[in-house]
Amino acid sequence: MTAEWETALWWARIRAVGPQLAAMGGAPPPGLTRLAEPGGSQAWLIPVFPNGAGPAVLDELDLPRPVLEQPNDTARVLAVCVRCCWTDPSGPLWPGVSVPFGRVAAAFESMTGRDEVVSHRALVAAVRRLSGSGWLLWDEPGRLIRLGPRVATWSPAELTALRELWRSIPAPGDERSSPAVAGDPDEGEAE
């Protein structure tokens, strides 16, 4: 198989199902970068976009846009997962650490102040959406969540803002309420 065909095949896979796990080693195909999977012989292949690339670039490359279904809950779940899985915000975001689903659930419930049943339903739906799009890696049988390879695509400016957000979200098990959510008019309501 020629290099052009192999590159086209990788791009087709990424367009179809998102970031791809591949064998470690060798140069990545053009337009893709490799992120080493911790403790393994595999790496994630993810697209590399120029700074400032917007939705038009994603459309042109036929890549999935950000997850927009239930955007408030999805954003809250991603924020909670970043807080739980990124133990040291002065260090690199990727790959983060795996955390038990229950820890994420407790942090999400604390953030939203919702009934446990409503909170659990919203959490599971958002984790599935984020996992399907590569923002999270969810080992459903093992009940573990880790940051997905797409978080490695955030720019340095986005990481600076993310570090500030990280500080404003209560640590898992912290009983204080989040200042960002305390005045939320729909607090306690499901989306």
Has residue 45 got a pLDDT over 50? yes
d(CA 167, CA 153): 21
Q: What is the DSSP string of 142-162?
A: TTEEEE-GGGGG--HHHHHHH
- pLDDT given for residue 104 in this prediction: 93
Query: Which tokens is 162 given?
Result: 């993310």
Lowest-pLDDT range, 57-66, 82-91, 133-142?
57-66
* Residue 40: pLDDT band with limits 50, 70, 90: confident
pLDDT for 39 beyond 70: yes
Q: What is the rounded distance in angstroms from the CA atom of residue 20 to the CA atom of residue 137?
A: 12
Amino acid in position 77: V
How far apart are alpha carbons 162 and 30 in whole angstroms? 29
Listed in sequence order, the residues at least 6 apart from 119 whose beta carbon sits closer than 8 Å to its beta carbon are: 105, 108, 109, 112
Helix (H) or strand (E) holding 5: helix 3-17
Answer whether residue 156 shows pLDDT above 90. Answer: no
Q: Are 89 and 125 in contact (CB under 8 A)?
A: no
Phi, psi of 61 (to 5 degrees): -85, 0
Task: Give residue 133's pLDDT.
Answer: 80
- Token digits for 67? 């997850």
Residue 38 has a pLDDT of: 82
Report the pLDDT value the prediction gives residue 60, as an integer from 0 to 100: 65
Phi-psi region of 9 (alpha: psi -120 to 50; beta: other; left: phi over 0): alpha
Range 38-58 average pLDDT: 73
pLDDT band of residue 153 (cuts 50, 70, 90) is confident
Tell me, what's the pLDDT at 179?
A: 35
Q: Which amino acid is it at 37?
A: E
Q: Rounded mean pLDDT of the chain?
A: 79
